[in-house]
Structure 1
Amino acid sequence: MLYDKPQTLKPPRVDVLMVTPWLAPIIWDGSFNIDILNAQFHQRNVRVGITVFAIKKYTVFVKTFIETAEQFFMVGHKVNYYVFTDQANEIVNLTLTEGRQLVILEVPSYKRWQEVSMRRMEMIRDHARQRFFKEVDFLVCVDVDMKFSDSVGVEILSDVFGTVHPSYYNGPRNRFTYERRPRSTAYIPRDEGDFYYAGGHFGGTVAEVYKLTNFCHNAMMTDKEKNIEAIWHDESYVNKYFLYHKPTKILSPEYLWISGYGVPVFLRRRRVVTLLKNNNAIRNKRALLNIKSYKT
């Protein structure tokens, strides 16, 4: 394989932080050579699982999610799409690339969206223990109301990774919306914290994702016994976990950007973007089908 020699005294980028104080790489455009990485992961014959939750009205997002994933996610690698849903009959049959498969996992529904959000940790944990460890090497856990708009490949894979939240990439830690109530197990003091991580994109090996989701679920259940619900639900517990169990790789906001935020100079690519939606549209499936995602 022919490629440019890396230059010891010439970093690929100087406009963004490329590595954390605990020496975990932060993944930006220009920080990696995907051809080298693909060759390495092909040697290992890696299969990647990606989980999404399509509960109640969110089934309408599955088609766009998978169609854009087929175009941009882990191209050339084996992928299992794990769709957790309470309405299996609403999931459309899609044609997938060879080596990829769609797995429908039927789960209970819950009345409150907050409950759905938090219970997904329990469901991912249980399925990691029961089946994921037999079927895939890595798990990528994302929200279903997003689309892939640029390549997302094996550069994201590591023992355990988190994604910098696009709302807080340049803010001081005392402005992070961590859980600030000391009674909660998700509590983080104002003088602690590295980054504010998005709850909508994390992952790693099956074993490490099991540890993360098990911690989050147990912490939620502890808080529930005290009638406490963390400010940002499962995201609050993810941030608590990553504070004391540092991720081995961090994804930049390229890997989760919010529609309508504009395009700052440092953001060369928007690889995963949220879909524009509103509560009225979510209540009406026909309206949801006409939602326009942010144009890249």
Structure 2
Amino acid sequence: MVNWAQVLFNSGVTGSLYLISAVGLTLTYRLSHFPNFAHAEFMTLGAYMGYFVAEQLGLGFPFAFVAAFLASGVLGSLCYKGVFQPLAKRGATIIHLMVATIGLGLVIRHSVGEVWGWSPLSFKVVWSSFDVGPVRVSGLWLWLIFAALVMAGIMHLALAKTKTGKAIRATSSNPELALSSGININRVTWVTWFIGAALAGTAGLFRAAATRLSPMLGWDIFLPTAAVTVLGGIGSFYGAIAAAFIIGLAENIGVVALINLGISTEYRMAVAFLILIVTLIVRPQGLARMFRRT
């Protein structure tokens, strides 16, 4: 018998992870208009910086969370200021910028491998587990869901209520009009890259705490993150939130189906991409039209 309550809870956990990682990718694409493949390495760096603070310095997981957020955010903003912005000013096309993100990602990945090694590492934190009715719950999973909801709430309020959030929305909708209105587009984009990369690092930390660390960790999350971003409507904040839980649910139901069919659960990601392909054939714009205000 399938424990559907557990499946739904696991879907919420998976969706929460994808929410954090996809919102960051969506925000940077929304302003810069090119796909950032180095987003995977921002997640990897966040995981390793969290490991460094929690395990090597012995400061605990809360400090690891802060370190992952800040380290990845700083790296993302530096990458934009030092690499992508100069290329864009020199007339680089989307293809040039995309290739630059791939190359930069390789540099970051191999730098991480040289510093921490290529062998897998694990957090020593032991998370308590308990049963809530038919559902098996872990403390880490609850923190992940809580963090995702809090971050989504903060981002919603920031985009809707704050001056910086309104500047981000104005810049993404009409950069020329935003510039003529006195908005510092460079500053807005720099802040957006910091936030997007910081969220990526946070997602990487949660992924590493639930599994293990390796220099390829970011790519384990990046592919479904990209699927969430496209399904939600590239650049749509609220579309990404909805798509994260849709993909999370699809993956976990797919696991049940694969187990019943006697097929390896390694194909779980293929289920999500199959749904993505079908959705885009029927609705090429993804879920974006449902959230026109975003």
Q: TM-score, normalised by structure 1?
A: 0.25
Greater strand fraction, Structure 1 or Structure 2:
1
Higher RCO, 1 vs 2 (CA within 8 Å, ≥6 residues apart):
2
